[in-house]
Structure 1
Amino acid sequence: MSELLTKELTVRQKDILKSKDLPQQWDQLDMSIQESIESIEEMLQFLEQKYGKTFVYAGYKKANRTYHDEESLLAYAVGDDPETQKCLVNRTKDGLEDTYGWVLAFPVFRKKMQDKVSDLLNDNNYKLFTKLLGVSNDGTVKASTVVVVIETAYDNASKELFDKVASRLSNEEGVYKILMYCVAPGTTESMAQHNYEQIMNSDNTLGRYSALASASK
């Protein structure tokens, strides 16, 4: 019997197929699914060899030449938050590329921003979030938006506070834009990086300030 008909799937491949209600025997899969499950394993192994961690499948998309979509895998490392720390592996003409460097850079950069302004904000209930817009191959954040959500009135005092925050962050490497939202009491309690934009609405958001970092002007 040919190798094509007798190939043994890994436990991980079988688990992925089972989650999609697909057969877990190679010879029971059509060729398209065989190609996909092989690519998924290849991409997961690429991440694991590169970063020395075990990665978990979270989604897959086949290449679509009509729409110029690249083949891609969505995954996260064991121990990372599957909600906020997923990464992509894309198959390009030059081989496999991934975005896990963004995941690694995120907590370091966020803590750095938090440390820069915590003394200005600690008298208020607030949360600080970051959106990474660009990360270099060596993990350096090249562009980002820093978002402060603070429980305070939208008035002259909050404008003065924002000016201090913006001034403190404006010259930091990797900061492109600074935003501060003034929200009603109790709004920040359930906020996290993955849901803060959904929680803010017209009823609890009182106003917003915005500034570009010095390097962006």
Structure 2
Amino acid sequence: MKTGRKIFTAVLSAACILSLVSCGQSTRQGVSENKSREEEQVEKEWTQRQEELLEEMGLSGDYDELTDTQKSAVTSADDMLAYLEEKYGKRFCYLSYAPSGTLDKEHLEAYPADGQPYDKVTVYRTYENGEYSYEDDYENILIRPRYEETVRDFAEEYFPAEGIKVYTDIKSIDGSVTEENILENVSAVTYVFTDDSVCSAEAYERFVDACGQWLKEHCQGVPAGIYLRMTQSEAWAKISEADYEDSIREDIFTAENDCSISGSGKVTIY
């Protein structure tokens, strides 16, 4: 009987040990499972900016209601905004996002928070060899005021300052730009709107005649254009930097001339 009791006791002890080991394993698995769920929950929580992007994109804030494509759009836009802000040390506001497609690269459109929505910056992102690379055209916005000032100085030789509005669209930049070489290294189209109640028809004709020579002297090597529009006074007063491109298609001009120079130096006026 003593031998039987010893065997029973040994079996019971072994069972308890196995039970404790099993309980310990279950506890560790439970902790691991809980941790995984907690980590998953963290991944589903949006940052403040991502929440703002969701709203601006017109998407639901509920993670589970979004498709993988929508989730990717939010995180990609966030990454590209972060790239801009780190590079230039300022905050940028979202305008639009487009994934890569057959005809275009993945890109984001934004504008500096201290600027206006028409100060549009485009960021392109490509993926190669396991890394993302970025490029942007914010420099176009930075040099635009100086380019406009240069063309304005030329226009004011023919028109009173209070009768002209000058707006430039920078197309591309070739090399390093300084105040001295800005016209030689920057391809741009500039619209000069003149108020027909202040600017005379004679001054307009003289300016058109002078444009070709001015472009030939200052804009060699890059395509550039000065598009002159003599504008009805009431309509001229309403033109602004935010909407001048829309006004180009309106029937508000009493005279129109486009002066341009090609990269090879050919001047065209019509």
Normalized against structure 2, the TM-score is what? 0.68
Does residue 85 (structure 1) correspond to residue 119 (structure 2)? The answer is yes
Separation in structure 1 between the aligned mates of residue 55 and residue 224 of structure 2, nearest angstrom: 44
How many percent of aligned residue pairs carry the same amino acid?
A: 23
SS of structure 1 residue aligned to 2:233:
coil
Q: Which residue of 1 aligns with 2:187?
A: 143
Q: Is the Cα contact below 8 Å between 1:16 and 1:57 reproduced in 2?
A: yes
**Alignment length (residue pairs):** 214
In the TM superposition, what is the alpha-carbon distance from 1:117 to its structure 2 partner? 2.8
Q: In 2 relative to 1, CA 70–151 (structure 1 residues): closer, same or farther, beyond 3 Å?
A: same
Give the residue type in structure 2 aligned to 1:178: I
Alignment match of 1:180 (pick from 220, 228, 232): 228
Q: Is the Cα contact below 8 Å between 2:50 and 2:78 reproduced in 1?
A: yes
Give the residue type in structure 1 aligned to 2:192: V
Separation in structure 1 between the aligned mates of residue 59 and residue 253 of structure 2, nearest angstrom: 46
* Runs of at least 5 residues in structure 1 that lack an aligned partner in the other structure: none
Give the residue type in structure 2 aligned to 1:37: V
Q: Is the Cα contact below 8 Å between 2:194 and 2:229 reproduced in 1?
A: yes
Give the residue type in structure 1 aligned to 2:123: V
Give the residue type in structure 2 aligned to 1:42: D
Alignment of 1:61-72 (within 5 A): 61-64=98-101, 67-72=102-107
Give the residue type in structure 2 aligned to 1:86: K
In the TM superposition, what is the alpha-carbon distance from 1:147 to its structure 2 partner? 2.0
Does residue 162 (structure 1) correspond to residue 208 (structure 2)? The answer is yes
Alignment match of 1:189 (pick from 237, 246, 251): 237
Q: In 2 relative to 1, CA 24–166 (structure 1 residues): closer, same or farther, beyond 3 Å?
A: same
Q: Which residue of 2 aligns with 1:36?
A: 73
Q: Name the larger-Rg structure.
A: 2
Higher relative contact order (CA 8 A, sep 6+): 1
Q: In 2 relative to 1, CA 19–208 (structure 1 residues): closer, same or farther, beyond 3 Å?
A: closer
Considering only aligned residues, what root-mean-square deviation do their CA atoms show, in Å? 2.8
Normalized against structure 1, the TM-score is what? 0.83
